[in-house]
Amino acid sequence: MMNTLRNNAEKSTAKLKDIHSEKSTGLSKELQTLRKEIPDIDKIKFGLTDSTLHTGKILYKINSLNRQIHDKLLWQEDLNFQITSAERIAIKGENGAGKSTLIQILLNNTPKFTGEVYRFPHISIYIDQDYSIINNDLTIYDQVQQFNDTGLLEHEIKIRLNRFLFGKESWDKRCRTLSGGEKMRLCLCCLTIRNLAPDMIVMDEPTNNLDIQNIEILTEAIKTYQGTLLIVSHDDYFLKEINIQKIIQL
């Protein structure tokens, strides 16, 4: 009887291993198939202009920061930290932890808070979840022209658009018709056209609602950027890929 039970258990274990192996092989094949469907990322020349600030320059110094909402403090403990140039920082926390609020305070969009926020001169650009730097009433071509502050020639603008997978047939499309991934690519395209190099790029949940192709494009673009990066994200794999160095945990 014991030998029979042992044999049955061994057969069950072997069967489970076979099932697990089949699932792992299937998942690997699915990932390989998805990767093949993604355009060659190396062919997309991002060209994000690097910051000219020297590494280690203080951009923000935060002392005893908090915010009161309905007679209650937003954070259990006051925040104390500083941000220096060339740092790559992620803000993490549960829903409602005040991640976006912290960004708005840093960007001077939320005046009501307690504590001290010292902002030192630098140029930043903020890309929110709604891609607000894009004017939905404009066409794709007109949108990038809004960032053409050096007067790039028309053929150069069109080359940049093609680099970010916007072919000729899409140039007259209204921005309001674009998907989240397309708007993200258009934001990146605008940044390559703009002459004024940002010292810091701030992004709020940039991988939300993006497919694999557009996450890959965003990842490669951010990896090539040499400047300060401040990102709100819950995507640990993405944060690892873009070489985040410091976490502000709320």
Asked if residue 214 and residue 110 are part of one domain, the reply reads yes
Same domain, 234 and 126: yes
Residues 142 and 91 in one domain: yes
Query: Rounded distance, CA 30 to CA 26, Å?
Result: 6
> Strand ranges (DSSP E) for 128-232?
200-204, 228-232
Same domain, yes or no: 72 and 4? no
33 with 46, same domain?
no
For residue 150, what pLDDT is reported? 86
**Which pLDDT band, with edges at 50, 70 and 90, does 27 fall under?**
very low
- How would residue 224 be classed by pLDDT, with cut points 50, 70 and 90? confident
* Tally of domains in the chain: 2
User: Distance between CA atoms of 5 and 11, rounded to whole angstroms?
Assistant: 10
The two structure tokens encoding residue 176: 């309001």
Question: Is the pLDDT score of 189 beyond 50?
Answer: yes
Domain range for 17: 1-37
> What pLDDT sits at residue 242?
96
Is the pLDDT score of 51 beyond 70?
yes
* One domain, residues 159 and 234: yes
Same-domain check for residues 9 and 93: no
**Which range, of 56-60, 183-187, 223-227, averages the lowest pLDDT?**
223-227
Question: What was the pLDDT predicted at 121?
Answer: 94
Residues 20-25 have a mean pLDDT of 46
CATH number, domain at 140?
A: 3.40.50.300
122 and 30 inside one domain:
no
| 166-181 average pLDDT score | 96
35 membership: H or E segment, kind and range: helix 2-37
13 and 93 both lie in a single domain = no
pLDDT band at 4 (very low <50, low <70, confident <90, very high): very low
- What's the rounded mean pLDDT across residues 130-150? 95
Q: What is the pLDDT of residue 197?
A: 80
Residue 249 DSSP SS3: strand
Same domain assignment for residues 23 and 98: no
Nearest to 52 by CA among 85, 82, 84: 85
- Which pLDDT band, with edges at 50, 70 and 90, does 32 fall under? low
Res. 14 pLDDT band, cuts 50 70 90: very low
Report pTM.
Answer: 0.79
**DSSP letters of the chain?**
-HHHHHHHHHHHHHHHHHHHHHHHHHHHHHHHHHHHHS--GGG----PPPP-SPTT-EEEEEEEEE-EETTEESSSS-EEEEEETT-EEEEE-STTSSHHHHHHHHTT-----EEEEEE-S--EEEE-TT-TTS-TTSBHHHHHHTT-TT---HHHHHHHHHHTT--GGGTTSBGGG--HHHHHHHHHHHHHH-SS--SEEEEESTTTT--HHHHHHHHHHHHH--SEEEEE---HHHHHHTT--EEEE-
For residues 109-129, average pLDDT: 92
Assess whether 29 and 46 both reside in one domain: no
173 shares a domain with 95: yes
How would residue 86 be classed by pLDDT, with cut points 50, 70 and 90? Answer: very high
